[in-house]
Amino acid sequence: MLHQFWKRRTLPLVALLLVLGALAGGTAIYQTVSQPETVAAAATTDWGLSFQTEGQPPIGNASPEALRELGARFLGDPSQPVIYITFDAGFENGNTAPILDALKKHNAPAAFFLVGNYLDTAPELVKRMVAEGHVVGNHTMTHPDMSKISDLDAFRTELTGLEDKFREITGEELPKFYRPPQGKFSEENLRQAQSLGYTTVFWSLAYVDWYADRQPTPEQAFAKLIPRIHNGAIVLLHSTSATNAAILDELLTRWEEAGYTFGSLTDLALTDH
């Protein structure tokens, strides 16, 4: 399946240890690591997180300051109890409609990072996302490892192809938010996206929700998503997850009861200026 392929990645040891703390389905690994000051310019990096303190933002393998200079974010304002909900999707399997229903019930804006196949096969859901006030973001046309594309024209084609499809379906321009496929990036990639007017959006909270045939139980999902939520969280979920569709109403309720509100990526972008 596409979603399984996307997430099977070979990580350098350091990146692997970082990612396990955020995404592992088993016991979390909590590491003491120094916050990086710069993004490596030459090497490809897999986005990774280290959770140090429950309820506090994690440390990424690039600092918020370095990312911001390159037009990228993984976290909102850590002083504000606002959550930014995002979904990645490469295909539709019936779970997006109930997810949209839950978001509507809670008046919670979200961002859906879509690939070309999704726009081809589920245009009515794309229209619904837009009509209900959600952001549709760019997850590229074909979901390649964009860090292997050094030519700006080839990089641009992966993004503008999706822009064109979105315009054909909705009559609107695609919002300029980009999420790198597989979480792979380099400084050159980020500069390429920035030169095309995009904000690159990583995440500060996620869990293993993408295997259609190995979905976590609701209890397992809550065990990852409740204690690790934090101010300014950019949450990555997958709209192909039956578990997410089943629990989202309760999940949003529990986050609200903990004092959080829900923000749009469009609001987050405004804080950069």
In tens digits, what is the pLDDT along the chain, a chain of 273 residues? 333 333 333 333 333 333 333 333 332 322 333 444 455 444 668 999 999 999 999 999 999 999 999 999 999 999 999 999 999 999 999 999 999 999 999 999 999 999 999 999 999 999 999 999 999 999 999 999 999 998 999 999 999 999 999 999 999 999 999 999 989 999 999 999 999 999 999 999 999 999 989 999 999 999 999 999 999 999 999 999 999 999 999 999 999 999 999 999 999 876 554
Q: Closest by alpha carbon to 178, among 117, 240, 135?
A: 135
pLDDT at 44: 62
Q: Tokens 């009559």 map to which residue? A: 171
pLDDT at 64: 92
Considering only CA atoms, give the Rg of the chain. Answer: 17
Residues comprising the chain, all counted: 273
DSSP character at residue 271? T
pLDDT at 23: 36
**How many Cβ atoms sit within 10 Å of the Cβ of residue 29?**
15
What 3-state class would DSSP assign to 75? strand
Tokens for 23, please give them. 């995404």
Q: How far apart are CA 111 and CA 211, in angstroms?
A: 21
pLDDT at 206: 97
At 120, the amino acid letter reads: D
pLDDT at 43: 60
At 153, the amino acid letter reads: D
Fold for domain 2-270?
Answer: TIM Barrel (3.20.20)
Active site residues: 88, 238
Q: Give strand ranges (E) for the chain.
A: 45-46, 49-50, 59-60, 72-73, 82-89, 110-114, 135-138, 177-178, 184-185, 199-201, 205-206, 234-238, 261-262
Write down the number of H helices and E strands in the chain: 11, 13
At 16, the amino acid letter reads: L
Tokens for 112, please give them. 């859906």
